[in-house]
Chains A and B, each alone.
Chain A
Amino acid sequence: MLKLVGSLCILAGCIGWGANRIGEEKSRIRHLQEWIRIIRRIQNEIAYGKRTLPEICLLLSESCPEPYRECFGAIYEQAGRQEGEGLEQIWQRQVAQCLSAVRLPEEEKEILKCLPLDPGIQEEKFQAERIGQSMDLLTRKCRQAEDAYENKARVTTCLSILAGVFMTILLL
């Protein structure tokens, strides 16, 4: 009886680990999609609205889901405090803080922290295009993740079940 319970626990643990891995991947895709939406909005507000970056952050804080709502609200608030700190520093600090709770690979976090927000370009379309380069990179990563997701999920599920079965046999 104990052996049966133990085996079931091992099996459940392995399947749970697999499900967690799949969930992480799903969450990564969801966050990447959200960031692509955010960057597209930033581009549109720059190119067509000619809004300043702090203003755009305010708009994003009103329309984005958590944790980004709070992050953009904090950027807007700190930029408006007139303490003389550069927007890039504020952005990097706040985005890093916000992404610390988000499961994304470090490479992708780095892209988001270092968005070329302030290259000092005077023409709004070029500025929007410059930010668009980061979006292209994220879009490519997101598409790759989406394409690989189903296979990855299937493989992870199979592997987790097999690992569970293998470990049960081993322990028995």
Chain B
Amino acid sequence: MRQEEILYMFPQAMRGKWAQAAAQADSLQEIRMRVNAPATVLIGNREWFVDGAGRLLDRQPAGAACSAEELEAVLKHLCQYSVYAFADEIRQGFLTVQGGHRVGLAGQVILEDGNRVRNLKYIRYLNIRIAHEIKGVSDRVLPYLYDRRGGVLNTLLVSPPGCGKTTMLRDIIRHLSDGTKYGQGVNVSVVDERSEIAGSYLGIAQNDVGIRTDVLDGCPKQEGMMMLIRAMAPRVLAVDELGSEGDIRALQMASGCGCKLIATIHGESLAEIRRKKYMRDIMEDRLFERYLVLTKKNGQCQVEGIYDGEGLRC
């Protein structure tokens, strides 16, 4: 099924070229297409070139450069021949397609009012990132996310980029929503600003985020949190990548409304997070009752530590 999903991203005429790469669906991480350069794929952290016949080569093939027409055909196909319907996403530089795969786009930016991105034209670079949903990745940390009465604890996932915090967050959301042996399933609302958590396509979550989960896709976090609290009355509110004082203020308001919070933030350690000005206050107020710190050792993502609200290891 995954192999077909990858082939479906290409128009009929190009499927032959991508068949060999798609056959490696389980370890395929990335497909990159650039105009006037050969296509490359990342399979199991190793880069391969794709020649005109679709063979995977470890050195640059001659005369296998992608053309602008080829990229345009792929883009149109990904947009279901309705590019206008994806204009907001294109403006942000990415698309989410069926299966939750994300397509990064680059080209020439059209600005308005001096510095606001109005649109992208001459899209000449595509980076298709294959979604790999890993279920069960949060099993080990689940007992720490509930209090003794089965209530969910406000939790912050701290991780440097590429250590799987979104994957962990998604799995936690799924567990909280479906229910576990530690607590009953609760209504979870997700503000998925960049469609990374649920991987929504045409409004439908492509990743399993649980049966009691509502997703607000493509909405800025601050507005999204308030909208969801007013509209969906969640017990748990989940957001990815806190990054501004506004996000923190919205979190504090959400907490004041009785919601439990699950969030992620970029960072190497708790000490580093504490140094961020906008984080200091909420850490002192103990808004979060659990901190999960993720790290990568020998290429493997793992939980470095679980801490309580005071920063003590659990």
Contacts and interface: CB of A to CB of B under 8 A. Distances in A.
A167 interface: no
A97 B77 CA distance: 24
The DSSP consensus for interface residues of chain A is loop
B202 interface: yes
Interface in A84-143: 84-88, 117-118, 120-124, 126-127
A49 B89 CA distance: 16
B83 interface: yes
A79 interface: yes
B85 A84 contact: no
A120 B8 contact: no
B276 interface: no
Given A82-B8, A84-B11, A127 B84 contact: yes
Nearest to A51: B85
B80 A121 contact: no
A11 to B, nearest CB: 55
Nearest to A54: B80
Contact of B83 (A54, A84, A122): A122
A124 B85 contact: yes
Contacts of A121: 83-84
Interface in A24-68: 46, 50-55
B90 interface: yes
B66 interface: no
B12 A83 contact: yes
A29 to B, nearest CB: 31
Given A83-B12, A86-B11, A123 B87 contact: yes
B10 interface: yes
Contacts of A53: 80-82
Of residues A46, A83, A86, which shows the largest number of chain B Cβ atoms within 10 Å of its Cβ? A86
B11 A122 contact: no
Contacts of B90: 122
A108 B76 CA distance: 27
A124 B87 contact: yes
Contact of A50 (B7, B14, B85): B85
Contacts of A46: 82, 84-85
